[in-house]
Structures are given as structure tokens and as C-alpha cells.
Amino acid sequence: MFWKPTPVPQVSRVVVTPSKASKDKQAPQPRREQPKQEQAKKGQAKKVEAQAESFKQPKQQPLTKALMNPETYAMIHGEFKRRLDAPYGKMYRELGLDAGTLQQLRSLLAEKELTLAEGFRLAEEAKTPLSADSLAALRADGDTPIRELLGEEAYANYKYYESTLPARNHVNELEARLSYKSEPLTSSQYNALVKALSELSDPNIKTDSGAWLGNYSPDVTKESLEIARGILTPSQFAVYEKEYEITMLGREMEKRYSQYYSQPKQNTGGNKKGNNKVEKGTAP
């Protein structure tokens, strides 16, 4: 007889229907990345706005802040001294100062130019032009120690030299052009041209703007031609007159370009809005 296993009772299959609460638990939750992305975009936008605002309204004045740092001030001061050697180089030689006094003068001139530069910058930022009285006060403050250093006679020579800087810039250019010619400009011719040109009334020459800031060279004009004719030799005058012709040609070209670009542009496109009309007998 074989052993028979006990039959396993059948269990009816029960289908469990999930309740509403379980459905809610098992349902996939919505992603929360979108709100985070929106917050990130808003934060980035605020950051950009803050940066733009910082450019519009600087919290600190850059040059003023830089001048408060001793190392930065020394660097800027040294750069001013180096650049002022060009306009004041001849004056240094003419005054015949000893090495120590010359270095003091270079330093004082650099401080004066720094003061003028900062005054003009602050006035520009405030959108209020620097008044004549304010400019005169700045220049007086810078000239006081220079006067004490040089004495009355040398100080008078310095002030005359400074007042003739625009004319000197003009004559310096002519001197450079004639330096390699057969007849270079002599010192007497140089001084005569500077004196005569300084007496001309040129509204573009601002002798009170400082040596570096007022580094302006007036153009050759009919008046300056007449002055140069009586001082220069024929070959020297030919070089100077050629510069006048170049100046006039440049002005004429500038005038033509200005007239050309100031004319309203005509719309020749047929497909643009407002110009879609098709004349009779022509293809659209």
C-alpha cells in the first residue's frame, strides 16, 4: 500500500481592493524640482539686477579710494611724474635746478595734476561743471608749495611756461617734422612762434586745464600761417603750409562724411512693412 499525502484544502482567492487612503499612499508624488528651478531663476534675476545696480551706482569712488592706499598712491604718483616729463621737460632744463630741487618739483607737479584730475572727475560724476572759482582754488593749492620751492623769479617763469603749453605742443610738432630736414627749427624761432601763437585767441585752447589734462595742440590756421611766414625760412614754411593743407583736407572729408551719414536712409525693400505697394505694370 502506498502512502497518500493528505490533500491540501483549497482556499478561495480573495482579491483585496485597495482603499482610497492606500491609493493615495501608493500614488507617485509630483516632482518638486520645478518650484526649485523657479526659485533659482528668480535668485539669478535678482543677482543680475543687483550687479546692474552696482554698476549704475558705485558704492565707492575708485580713484579716491585708490589714492587712500599708500602703495597705490605711490604708483599713480610715479606715473604722473613720468608723463609730465614730456610737457615740462624743456622747462626743467631752462630752470637749471639741482637734482634734489628738480625731484621735488616733479613730485609737486604730479600732486597738482592729481588734484586737478580728481576735481574734474568728481565734477563730471556730479554732472556739475567745475566752476572757475573752484578750479582757481585747486590750482592755487597746487601752486603754493611750488612757489615756496622755486622762489618768485623761477616761479614766474614756470607760470609763463604753463600758460603757453598749448602753443608749445603745436610748435613741438613742427620742430619734430623739421628735425631731420636741412634747416631744423632754431631755439629763437621756437620761442618766437610760442610767444606769437600764445597771443592768438583760440577758444579751443584751455590753458587752465593743467599740463597733462590740457595737452591740446591747436590746428594750423590762416592766422598761424601768417605768423609763421615772418619767422620761418621758405623751406621751413613749406613744411608748415603742407600741414595746413592736410588739416583743411581732413576737415572737408569730415564734413562730407557727416553730411552723408546724417541723411535719412531710404527704404528700398519691397517686402518690408509699410512698403508693400506694387506699382501698376510691375511684378510683385
Q: pLDDT digits over 145-179, tens only?
A: 999 999 999 999 999 998 888 888 889 999 999 99
Considering only residues 33 and 261, tell me which one the structure prediction assigns the higher pLDDT. 261
Q: What's the whole-number mean pLDDT along residues 233-259? A: 85
Report the candidate in 96, 94, 232 with the shortest Cα–Cα distance to residue 175.
232
Give yes or no for residue 82 having a pLDDT over 60. Answer: yes
Beta strands in 192-238 (DSSP E): none
For the chain, the domains span: 58-162, 164-259
- What pLDDT shows up at residue 132? 77
DSSP for 131-167, written as a single string: PHHHHHHHHHHHHHHHHHHH-HHHHHHHHHHHHTHHH
Q: What is the dihedral of CA 104, 109, 112, 114, to 10 degrees?
A: -100
Range with the lowest mean pLDDT among 164-178, 190-204, 230-244? 190-204
Q: What 3-state class would DSSP assign to 204?
A: coil
- What pLDDT shows up at residue 55? 42
When the pLDDT of each residue in the chain is averaged and rounded to a whole number, the result is 75
- Name, in order, each residue with C-beta under 8 angstroms of 173's C-beta and a sequence gap of 6 or more: 217
Considering only residues 252 and 272, tell me which one the structure prediction assigns the higher pLDDT. 252
**φ, ψ for residue 58, nearest 5 deg:** -65, 135
Considering only residues 105 and 33, tell me which one the structure prediction assigns the higher pLDDT. 105
- What pLDDT shows up at residue 215? 57
Residue 192: alpha-carbon gap to chain centroid: 35
The maximal CA–CA distance of the chain, rounded, in angstroms, is: 153
Query: Which tens digit of pLDDT belongs to each residue from 50-63?
Result: 554 444 444 444 55
Q: What 3-state class would DSSP assign to 30?
A: coil
d(CA 211, CA 258): 32
Alpha helices in the chain (DSSP H): 20-26, 33-56, 62-68, 70-95, 99-125, 132-150, 152-163, 165-178, 187-198, 222-229, 234-262
> What are 253-260's contacts with CB under 8 Å, separation 24+?
none
- What pLDDT shows up at residue 37? 59
What are the grid coordinates assigned to 197, written together? Answer: 601763437
CB 244 within 8 A of CB 229: no
Considering only residues 10 and 249, tell me which one the structure prediction assigns the higher pLDDT. 249
Q: How does residue 102 score in pLDDT terms, banded at 50, 70 and 90?
A: very high
- What pLDDT shows up at residue 239? 93
Q: How does residue 31 score in pLDDT terms, banded at 50, 70 and 90?
A: low
- What pLDDT shows up at residue 165? 87
d(CA 193, CA 227): 8
Residue 269: alpha-carbon gap to chain centroid: 39
